[in-house]
């Protein structure tokens, strides 16, 4: 499900309103452009449309257009003269050369308001230039809250006793996914659980192949560290991607927080998954104990090295009953800076605003993320009766889904086909 930024029709070349294809000129915040409108009889100068690439996909009312602009385009005034020359140099370098570790540390370290605004704005511009105004909404179904691991930060860690554990039935998982796709227009679904071996490899294969048989959707699996054979079989069944964070690039931090797990094994698995042809969604937590800015720079470089197609970075949020329950939450501002720097390094990657950022910043987190280089949202599609029990951390944010979903473009078959095509291209194009 995707949405675009609205534009106003300022002229129409073909005067015949019934012509199947009409050339129109539209204007939005970045100026004018020529696009085509297909099968939009009655479209006239002054109307508002949503468009993606060179095609108008839907007419919207002026009120709706304003609503979307307000959601997606906060205005920021930047006084360039107040930026330090070294900061400006790094920013402008990012358009022509890859940023190195020192450059990244410099960008992440700034606390100067104007410099941060300039960073966010550069990332936003780069996102627009590379991905146009093509925001996507993905869905996540959290199908089991059971986990064999004991990660120190996670509310669902195996030793947590005050957690209600649930497992969705195979049929329930399939129905939820099909409903999200057919009923609500989602095109990319993440199937997530703790590391729960209750589901056999065959169960996972059956879930994936049945969803793929019943509807057209990209499936990302997020089921933790399972065997290479299991991942091979899921790929064969139709899974396109894997969401598996490396959590931190620093082995000593990783090993202190993940009893019984090895950083090396985690990275080995991620590399093997890439070699299998999976799209990799990976990233890290911000605000882990012992994490320095230099480590965050290394985390960003590791995402780039792994060739992730989807960046997933969120602030740590303390969770009751875990060893890190009194460790302070990660910084929302640092999360935005990381989002922006990730966009500078990976201009075409998918960067969702993570729920953890929304949880500490609410709707504003969503808006800020989307104007700092992020280009997608991840909505929770777990059935209501289970949702509160997937308690990785407390008070997970969700809200305004209907408003956002309302602008999904999949109701018309034309835009459906086109966006599906764009989705494939967007994935394929992230190889830098
Ligand atoms: N705060 C923020 N994110 C967390 N995760 C687990 N626990 C927390 C927490 N307390 C993230 C991990 C994991 C993902 C599923 O959830 O990064 O990979």
pLDDT per residue as tens digits for the range 99-111: 999 999 999 999 9
Q: What six digits make up the tokens of 258?
A: 């993940």
Is there an atom of ligand 1 within 6 Å of 317 CB? yes
pLDDT band at 42 (very low <50, low <70, confident <90, very high): confident
Euclidean distance between CA atoms 278 and 367, whole angstroms: 30
pLDDT given for residue 414 in this prediction? 43
Is residue 300 within 8 Å of residue 272, measured between CB atoms?
no
Looking at per-residue pLDDT, the higher value among 197 and 93 belongs to 197
Q: What six digits make up the tokens of 24?
A: 């129109």
pLDDT given for residue 409 in this prediction? 41
pLDDT given for residue 423 in this prediction? 55
pLDDT given for residue 73 in this prediction? 63
Core vs surface per residue 6-43: b (16+ CB within 10 A) or e: bbbbeebeeeeeebeebebbbebeeeeeebebeebeeb
CA-based angle 176:180:184, to the nearest 5? Answer: 150
Euclidean distance between CA atoms 172 and 178, whole angstroms: 10
pLDDT band at 411 (very low <50, low <70, confident <90, very high): very low
CA-based angle 76:399:48, to the nearest 5? Answer: 55
Among the ranges given (282-286, 403-407, 415-419), the one the predictor scored with the smallest mean pLDDT: 415-419
pLDDT given for residue 422 in this prediction? 58
Ligand 1 atom having least distance to the Cα of 285: 17
One DSSP character per residue, 361-417 reads HHHHHHHHHHTTT--EEEEE-S-HHHHTT--SSSS-----HHHHHTT--TTSHHHHH
| pLDDT > 70 in the chain, percent | 89
Q: Which residues have C-beta within 8 Å of that of residue 136, sequence separation ≥ 6?
A: 1, 2, 187, 188, 350, 375, 376, 377, 423
Whether the pLDDT of residue 412 is over 50: the answer is: no
Q: What six digits make up the tokens of 189?
A: 């679904």
pLDDT band at 360 (very low <50, low <70, confident <90, very high): confident
Looking at per-residue pLDDT, the higher value among 266 and 403 belongs to 266
Is there an atom of ligand 1 within 6 Å of 391 CB? no
Euclidean distance between CA atoms 251 and 57, whole angstroms: 48
pLDDT given for residue 358 in this prediction? 86
pLDDT band at 410 (very low <50, low <70, confident <90, very high): very low
pLDDT given for residue 311 in this prediction? 97
Average pLDDT over residues 200-220: 96
Average pLDDT over residues 27-41: 83
Whether the pLDDT of residue 429 is over 80: the answer is: no
pTM: 0.85
- For tokens 């590379």, the residue is 130
pLDDT given for residue 371 in this prediction? 85
Whether the pLDDT of residue 418 is over 80: the answer is: no
Average pLDDT over residues 265-270: 98
Average pLDDT over residues 33-56: 84
pLDDT given for residue 431 in this prediction? 45
Tell me whether strands 31-38 and 55-60 are parallel, antiparallel or unpaired. Answer: parallel
Ligand 1 atom having least distance to the Cα of 329: 1
Euclidean distance between CA atoms 62 and 41, whole angstroms: 18
Q: Which residues pair with 2 in a beta bridge?
A: 136
Whether the pLDDT of residue 13 is over 50: the answer is: yes
Euclidean distance between CA atoms 271 and 253, whole angstroms: 20
pLDDT given for residue 2 in this prediction? 55
pLDDT band at 92 (very low <50, low <70, confident <90, very high): confident
Is residue 236 within 8 Å of residue 283, measured between CB atoms?
no
212-to-140, 165, 197, 236, 239 alpha-carbon distances in Å: 16, 27, 22, 11, 9
Euclidean distance between CA atoms 249 and 283, whole angstroms: 9
341-to-56, 95, 337, 368 alpha-carbon distances in Å: 31, 12, 6, 14
Pocket test for ligand 1, best of 253, 280, 314, 331 (most atoms within 8 A of CB): 314
392: CA distance to ligand 1 center in Å? 6
**99-154 per-position pLDDT tens digit:** 999 999 999 999 998 899 999 988 887 887 777 666 778 999 999 999 999 999 99
CA atoms within 13 A on the CB side of 43: 31
Q: Which residues have C-beta within 8 Å of that of residue 363, sequence separation ≥ 6?
A: 399, 400
- For tokens 């696009």, the residue is 35
**Mean residue pLDDT across the chain:** 88
396: CA distance to ligand 1 center in Å? 11
120: CA distance to ligand 1 center in Å? 24
Whether the pLDDT of residue 166 is over 50: the answer is: yes
Average pLDDT over residues 335-363: 91
Euclidean distance between CA atoms 18 and 38, whole angstroms: 10
Is there an atom of ligand 1 within 6 Å of 360 CB? no
Core vs surface per residue 348-375: b (16+ CB within 10 A) or e: bbbbbbbbbbbbbbeeebbbbbbbbbbb
Is there an atom of ligand 1 within 6 Å of 247 CB? yes
pLDDT given for residue 426 in this prediction? 58
φ, ψ for residue 217 (rounded to 5)? -160, 150
CA-based angle 138:270:373, to the nearest 5? Answer: 40
Ligand 1 atom having least distance to the Cα of 315: 2
Whether the pLDDT of residue 29 is over 80: the answer is: no
The closest of 255, 397, 367, 378 to 311, measured between CA atoms, is 378
pLDDT given for residue 333 in this prediction? 95
Ligand 1 atom having least distance to the Cα of 244: 18
**61-90 per-position pLDDT tens digit:** 888 888 777 766 655 667 777 889 889 888
Q: Which residues have C-beta within 8 Å of that of residue 75, sequence separation ≥ 6?
A: none
Is there an atom of ligand 1 within 6 Å of 250 CB? no
**171-183 per-position pLDDT tens digit:** 999 999 999 998 8
pLDDT given for residue 231 in this prediction? 98
Average pLDDT over residues 232-259: 98
């Amino acid at each position: 499900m995707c949405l675009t930024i609205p534009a106003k029709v300022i002229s129409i070349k073909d005067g015949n309103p019934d012509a199947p294809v009409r050339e129109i000129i539209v204007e939005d915040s970045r100026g004018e452009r020529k696009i085509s409108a297909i099968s939009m009889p009655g479209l006239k100068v002054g109307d508002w449309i949503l468009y993606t690439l060179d095609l108008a996909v839907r007419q919207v009312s002026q009120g709706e257009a304003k609503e979307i602009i307000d959601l997606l385009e906060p205005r920021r005034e930047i006084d360039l003269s107040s930026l330090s020359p070294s900061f400006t140099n790094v920013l402008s370098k990012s358009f022509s050369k890859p940023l190195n570790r020192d450059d990244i540390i410099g960008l992440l370290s700034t606390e100067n308001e104007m410099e941060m605004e300039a960073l966010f704005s550069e990332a936003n511009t780069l996102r627009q230039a590379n991905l146009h105004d093509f925001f996507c909404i993905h869905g996540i179904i959290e199908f089991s809250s059971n986990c064999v691991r004991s990660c120190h930060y996670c509310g669902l860690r195996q030793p947590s006793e005050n957690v209600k554990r649930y497992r969705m039935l195979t049929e329930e998982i399939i129905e939820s996914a099909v409903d999200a796709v057919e009923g609500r227009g989602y095109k990319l679904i993440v199937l997530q659980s703790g590391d729960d071996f209750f589901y056999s490899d065959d169960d996972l294969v059956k879930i994936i192949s049945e969803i793929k048989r019943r509807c057209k959707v990209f499936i990302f699996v997020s089921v933790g560290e399972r065997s290479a054979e299991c991942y091979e079989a899921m790929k064969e069944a139709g899974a396109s991607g894997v969401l598996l964070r490396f959590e931190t690039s620093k082995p000593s931090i990783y090993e202190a927080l993940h009893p019984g797990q090895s950083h090396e094994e985690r990275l080995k698995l991620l590399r093997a998954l890439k070699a299998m042809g999976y799209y990799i969604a990976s990233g890290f937590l911000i605000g882990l104990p012992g994490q320095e800015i230099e480590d965050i720079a290394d985390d960003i470089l590791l995402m780039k090295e792994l060739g992730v197609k989807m960046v997933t970075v969120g602030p740590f949020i303390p969770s009751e009953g875990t060893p890190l329950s009194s460790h302070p939450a990660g910084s929302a501002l640092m999360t935005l800076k990381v989002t922006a720097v990730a966009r500078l390094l990976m201009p075409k990657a998918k960067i969702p605003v993570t729920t953890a950022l929304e949880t500490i910043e609410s709707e504003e987190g969503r808006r800020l993320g989307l104007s700092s280089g992020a280009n997608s949202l991840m909505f929770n599609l777990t059935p209501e009766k289970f949702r509160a029990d997937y308690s990785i951390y407390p008070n997970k944010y969700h809200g305004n889904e209907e408003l956002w979903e309302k602008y999904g473009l999949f109701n018309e078959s034309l835009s459906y086909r086109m966006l599906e095509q764009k989705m494939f291209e967007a994935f394929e194009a992230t190889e830098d």
